[in-house]
Structure 1
Amino acid sequence: MADELSEALGEVQALKDEVATLKQDRVGAATKSQDAENQVAEVLEAAARRLEDIAGRLEAS
C-alpha cells in the first residue's frame, strides 16, 4: 500500500511539473503571438501612410 501511495505521489508530482512547463510554454507562445501581431500592425500602418501619401500626390497633380 505504501509503495502504491509513493508511486501515485510521484505521478502527481510529474503531472504538476508538466503543467508548470506547459504554462511557461503558453506564456512564451502568447508573447511571440503578440510580437507578431504588433509587427503586422506596424507594416499595415506604414502601408496606409504610403497610400495616403500617394493619394495626396495624385490629388495635387
Structure 2
Amino acid sequence: LRKDGVSGAAVAGEMAAYLYSNGETFSSLLEDIYLKYGRVVSSNSYFICDSKETIKELFDGLR
C-alpha cells in the first residue's frame, strides 16, 4: 500500500469496521470530537493585484 489514497482507504475501512462494531459511526465520532474540542470555521479570500509596486509594498510590509 504505497499510494496515499489506497492507504487512506484501508485505514478508513478499518476505522469504519471498528466504529460499527462499537455501535458508532464517523458522524458520531466527529460529534464527540466537536463536543470535546469545539468546531473551527475558516473563511479564505483572495486579493488580486496587477500593480508590481503595490505588490512590493505589501510584501515589504510583511517582512
TM-score tier (shorter): 0.3 to 0.5
Structure with higher RCO (Cα < 8 A, 6+ apart): 2
TM-score, with normalisation over the residues of structure 1? 0.34
